[in-house]
Amino acid sequence: MLGRWSAGLPRSSGKCYVFEMDVYDHPTFAMACQQFERVADRLDVPHHQRARIKYPKRSMTVSLPIQRDNGDVEVFAGYRVQHHLTLGATKGGLRYHPEVTLGEVAALAMWMSWKCALTGLPYGGAKGGVACDPRKLSVTELERLTRRYTQEMIPFIGPQVDIMAPDVGTNEQTMAWMMDTYSMQMGHTVPSIVTGKPVALGGSLGRRESTGKGVAYLINRAMDTVGIRASNATAVIQGFGNVGAVATYALANYGLKIIAVSDVNGGIINRSGLDTWKLNQFVAKSGTVVGFPEAEPITNEQLLTTPCDVLVPAALERQITQKNAGRIQCRILAEAANGPTTPEADVILEQRPETFIIPDILCNAGGVIVSYFEWVQDLQSFFWSESEVLDKLNRILEGAFIQTLTLSRKENIPMRLAALSLGVKRVVEAKALRGLYP
């Protein structure tokens, strides 16, 4: 059974029933739903309309058998969730991580919907994932897995239907294999089927750095807002992958002192400031920040509660929780990851208005904005310079930041509620205008 009907709040016309889908049951999906209900209450979205807006439009689960290098055949679970189709094609990343589930992917797809709407992109949200540990697969195994996943998804995706991009555990090479597999099936080259691919295959200049640079741009705007000077500021970054590492270098370029960073293997700290150039060289060789000579080791928990001006969670969901939210000691919490702060932690942080939050759907929107630019360039076969890309990116981020800040101040509501309200409202309005078919 996919879901059930339960009694909802009574309406003037009589009793109303609310559809609840349990196929997505997962703490991250519960968290996304909790955030949505709060926004829906604020926007007065009628209860009988909420299930239509909240639950994904479509989802697909596939089994992916691949031959391992030793000759064994192993089957992996793959997912793709398309949250809503009201504003155009769906858009969202593909994650390779051992803990990927349908419910987690559905939550990430829902957040993508609100993010695209907040930034005015003509997309619904989507997300995909394969439950695997990419660090334990060889390059050839990863290629076979990616090609098989793409093959299984062909009835479900397309440049006007659903467009994928990199996320945790995937990268430009993953996108190149996807684009090649899809193109071989279509019989002609289709660059617009994915974004975040290599520039040599129709990728956009600036896409690889766009999420991290966008995060740094918004941190700079938040520092202006709360009155922090970059040259006096310190930053701590959790997660040193595509987003976290680029944000680290961009913040260092703005003049901030980076005092601690971490990855899945552990964290490092140097209160006098890490030499990010040397760190870059070290990570390029060793593949991890752990063991960097000019720093001390630090646990994940210590890292998150280190006193600093800017804390950037750039790893996974549900890192700032009821347990540690009271001990976070930053002026700006810049949510580069999706869903790093639980609703319970939000309640604690809201009692500390001195902590300025740049909510995830705004903070990391740079990635999907430049993905949109890449898709537009591919469809037109007309490519832009990097400065054009970054200029357009900053303009969209600036607009979304100002709108969110203005609503937050005008209504005296938290930045997250303001950002989600702007995103959800646009989707609700679009659904109302299109009406309910048939």
Q: Residue numbers of the site for ligand NAD (CB under 6 A)?
A: 166-169, 211, 238-244, 262-264, 300, 314-316, 336-338, 364, 367
Q: Coil, helix or strand for 375?
A: helix
d(CA 340, CA 50): 24
- Residue 104 or residue 309: which is nearer to ligand NAD going by CB? 104
Closer of 40 and 357 to ligand NAD (Cβ)? 357
The answer to whether the CB of 298 falls within 8 A of the CB of 268 is yes
Q: Are 186 and 154 in contact (CB under 8 A)?
A: no
Beta-carbon count within 10 A of 74 CB: 14
Q: What is the CB neighbour count within 10 angstroms for residue 201?
A: 16
Q: What is the DSSP string of 329-368?
A: --SEEE--SSS-B-HHHHHHHHT-TTSEEE-HHHHTTHHH
Helix axes 415-434, 102-118, angle to 10 degrees: 90
Q: At residue 166, what are phi and psi to the nearest 5 degrees?
A: -70, 155
Comparing CB distances to ligand NAD, the nearer of 244 and 359 is 244
Looking at the Cβ atoms of 168 and 230, the one nearer to ligand NAD is: 168
The catalytic residues are 127
Q: Which is nearer to ligand NAD, 295 or 428 (CB)?
A: 295
Output the smallest distance, CB 332 to ligand NAD, in A.
Answer: 17
Question: In angstroms, rounded to a whole number, what is the distance separating the alpha carbons of residues 222 and 216?
Answer: 10
Among residues 258, 256, 250, which one has the least CA distance to residue 233? Answer: 256
Q: Which is nearer to ligand NAD, 333 or 428 (CB)?
A: 333
Contact criterion met (CB below 8 Å) for 336 and 239: yes
* Nearer to ligand NAD among residue 45 and residue 174 (C-beta): 174
- Type and span of the H or E element at 268: strand 266-269
CB of 127 to ligand NAD, least distance (A): 8
Question: Of all residues in this chain, which one has the CB nearest to ligand NAD in the complex?
Answer: 241
Among candidate residues 145, 143, 202, 158, the one with its CA nearest the CA of residue 371:
202
Please report how close the Cβ of residue 219 comes to ligand NAD at its closest, in angstroms: 15
Query: What letter does residue 204 receive in the DSSP assignment?
Result: P
Give me the least distance between CB of 10 and ligand NAD, in Å please: 39
Q: Which residues make Cβ contacts (< 8 Å) with residue 423, sequence separation at least 6? A: 113, 114, 115, 116, 117, 118, 361
CB of 438 to ligand NAD, least distance (A): 36
Give the H/E segment covering residue 262: strand 257-263
- Closest approach, Cβ 183 to ligand NAD, in A, equals 22
CB of 194 to ligand NAD, least distance (A): 12
- CB 275 to ligand NAD: min, Å: 19
Tell me the C-alpha to C-alpha distance, in Å, between residue 117 and each of 88, 113, 370, 390: 11, 6, 15, 20
Cβ proximity to ligand NAD, 167 vs 378, nearer residue? 167
List, in sequence order, every beta strand (DSSP E) within 50-189: 58-67, 73-82, 90-97, 124-131, 162-166
